[in-house]
């Protein structure tokens, strides 16, 4: 049985670790706050949601498939949670783990635990069968409706009843019968555990003579136990194979459902705060157009527990975006909102905006300024260059690069030239770049470039920040004196 809730035709790997420097990226765009809301303390949900956002979908078709599933999950949140709860009944109990395969060398103990585990699995399958029958016409997405149809096509009531009957026979070991035949040198061979008939007799076998082993017959008891283990060995192998298959199925189902539970949790929280969400329109990787309305920083909404100012953009055929303007005007917040949206959109999620359209990128990288580290062994500029060098080893055409006040640890002229050369090399090799910078010399170097979009943080005449990022050419000042006035003059 295949789950196929995350992909139409392949497995969702929550342990995939293919994304370079995901921890730094998550830190830069404050992704942890978002994942914490999605997971509500469930580590498996956090793991699934993080894995999905750092395994970006690469085609419009794959994204649309998952977006439809997300929409379906949001419409039927209670039913998706109910299915997740059914899976938790078997997944969250330690005694239902596969640890029994290696926890004991006693075949009889492994056999007993395997039978008990399969009993729980079959009971869970019975609950899922009823769920599927009750909801076979509820879901409309290919993912969820396909899962229900798959389950009903492969499992029915007869299968469940037969499985329960077999397990009942296996659990009753008081009158277990083992059949064997004589082999070379009058040694027993071909040990088989014999199935019971409903009348209480044993199929294809009649008890002609019996021998009762006395309680003090240690050798006889040991010999019987050894023969029992030989007979059980093949059955244990089959039990283990079935248990592993069902364990893999339930594990896959849990992680794939976990992503949608996370989406439901986040959507409910943002709705509670009055913050809009939308399903984004994703363009092929060959496109360079971007537009959005009301794009906001989801992590800031979570921190403030209230809706925040959003931004608008509508550009075509731009490779480089340079964001300048007043200090503390919302530039870094804008970068976070944009980075979050790219990760969320390519995982098939909604984004924090009223409307959002963007191209697919094969990966995203961030190079944000870091606070001084008392343990750093090199200069700050050297540390920035080292990070950029490592990124350069991984970045490829079709990627997205986000800079936030990079290469400012030296003088304006030198820092601007370093920044310009790196950005120029990136865009010439097909990398889309967003860069927040106070370096006027760097920004001015691209003033005549028609592929560059300049954005500027808003400031009113009285120095008040609007926290809106709008089109605007760079200015030679970042209005640092406004902060001085606020901190040292206006407070007097």
Which listed CATH number (3.40.50.300, 3.40.50.970, 3.90.15.10, 3.40.50.10490) goes with 281-480?
Answer: 3.40.50.300
In the three-class reduction of DSSP (H, G, I as helix; E, B as strand; rest coil), residue 211 is classed as coil
Task: For tokens 């798959």, name the residue.
Answer: 150
> Which pTM value belongs to this model?
0.84
CA distances from 386 to 23, 91, 413 (A): 17, 44, 20
Q: Which residues contact residue 401 at a Cβ distance below 8 angstroms, ignoring those fewer than 6 apart?
A: 364, 365, 367, 391, 395, 426, 431, 432, 433, 434
Domain ranges of the chain: 64-272, 281-480
At 159-172, the pLDDT tens digits run: 777 777 776 766 66
pLDDT of residue 286: 95
At 293-341, the pLDDT tens digits run: 999 999 999 999 999 989 999 999 999 999 998 887 789 999 999 999 9
Mean pLDDT of the chain: 85
Q: Are the CB atoms for 469 and 294 separated by under 8 Å?
A: no
At 176-189, the pLDDT tens digits run: 666 777 777 667 66
Q: Please tell me the distance from the alpha carbon of residue 166 to that of residue 183, in angstroms, as a whole number.
A: 30
Q: Which residues contact residue 58 at a Cβ distance below 8 angstroms, ignoring those fewer than 6 apart?
A: 285, 360, 362
Q: Are the CB atoms for 118 and 243 separated by under 8 Å?
A: yes
Taking residues 31-39, what's their average pLDDT? Answer: 97
At 265-288, the pLDDT tens digits run: 999 999 999 999 999 999 999 999
Q: Please tell me the distance from the alpha carbon of residue 394 to that of residue 409, in angstroms, as a whole number.
A: 24
Tokens representing 443? 């920004």
Half-sphere exposure of 288 (CA within 13 A, CB side): 18
pLDDT of residue 108: 65
Nearest alpha-carbon partner for 64 in 142, 145, 144: 142
At 57-74, the pLDDT tens digits run: 999 999 999 999 999 999
Quote the percentage of the chain above a pLDDT of 70: 78
Q: Please tell me the distance from the alpha carbon of residue 70 to that of residue 77, in angstroms, as a whole number.
A: 10
**For the stretch 238-267, what's the b/e string if a residue is b when 16 or more beta carbons lie within 10 angstroms of its beta carbon?**
ebbebbeebbebbbbbbbbbbbbbbbbbbb
Rg (alpha carbons) of the chain, rounded to whole number: 31
Q: Between the CA atoms of 365, 368, 372 and 374, what dihedral angle is there, to the nearest 10 degrees?
A: -10
């Amino acid at each position: 049985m295949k789950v196929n809730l995350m992909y139409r035709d392949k497995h969702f790997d929550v342990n995939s670790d293919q994304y370079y420097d995901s921890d730094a990226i998550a830190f830069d765009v404050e992704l942890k706050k978002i994942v914490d809301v999605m997971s509500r303390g469930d580590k498996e949900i956090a793991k699934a949601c993080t894995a999905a956002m750092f395994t970006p979908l690469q085609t419009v078709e794959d994204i649309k498939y998952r977006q439809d599933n997300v929409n379906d999950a949001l419409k039927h949140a209670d039913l998706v949670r109910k299915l997740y709860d059914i899976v938790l009944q078997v997944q969250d109990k330690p005694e239902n783990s596969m640890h029994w395969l290696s926890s004991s060398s006693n075949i009889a103990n492994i056999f007993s635990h395997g039978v008990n585990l399969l009993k729980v699995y079959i009971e869970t399958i019975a609950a899922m069968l009823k769920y599927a029958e009750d909801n076979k016409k509820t879901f409309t997405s290919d993912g969820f409706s396909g899962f229900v149809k798959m389950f009903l096509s492969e499992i029915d009531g007869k299968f469940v009843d037969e499985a329960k009957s077999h397990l009942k026979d296996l659990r009753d070991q008081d009158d277990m019968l083992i059949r064997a035949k004589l082999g070379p040198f009058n040694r027993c061979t071909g040990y088989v555990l014999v199935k019971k008939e409903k009348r209480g007799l044993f199929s294809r076998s009649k008890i002609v003579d019996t021998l009762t082993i006395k309680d003090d017959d240690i050798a006889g008891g040991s010999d019987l136990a050894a023969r029992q283990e030989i007979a059980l060995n093949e059955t244990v192998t089959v039990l283990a194979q079935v248990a592993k298959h069902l364990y893999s199925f339930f594990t896959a189902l849990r992680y794939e459902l976990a992503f949608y539970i996370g989406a439901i949790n986040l959507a409910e929280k943002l709705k509670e705060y009055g913050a809009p969400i939308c399903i984004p329109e994703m363009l092929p990787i060959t496109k360079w157009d971007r537009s959005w309305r009301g794009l906001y920083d989801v992590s800031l909404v979570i921190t403030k527990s209230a809706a925040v100012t959003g931004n608008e953009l509508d550009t075509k055929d731009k490779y480089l975006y340079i964001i300048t303007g007043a200090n503390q005007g919302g530039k870094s917040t804008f970068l976070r909102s944009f980075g979050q949206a790219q990760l969320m959109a390519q995982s098939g999620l909604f984004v924090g905006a009223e409307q959002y359209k963007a191209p697919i990128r094969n990966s995203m990288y961030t190079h944000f300024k870091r606070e001084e580290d008392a343990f750093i062994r090199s200069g700050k500029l050297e540390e920035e260059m080292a990070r950029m060098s490592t990124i350069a080893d991984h970045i490829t055409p079709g990627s997205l690069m986000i800079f936030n006040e990079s290469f400012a640890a030296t003088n304006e002229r030198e820092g601007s030239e370093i920044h310009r050369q790196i950005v120029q090399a990136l865009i010439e090799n097909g990398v889309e770049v967003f860069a927040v910078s106070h370096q006027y010399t760097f920004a001015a170097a691209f003033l005549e470039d028609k592929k560059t979009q300049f954005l500027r943080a808003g400031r009113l005449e009285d120095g008040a920040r609007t926290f809106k990022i709008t089109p605007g050419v760079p200015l030679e000042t970042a209005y640092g004196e406004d902060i001085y006035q606020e901190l040292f003059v206006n407070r007097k």
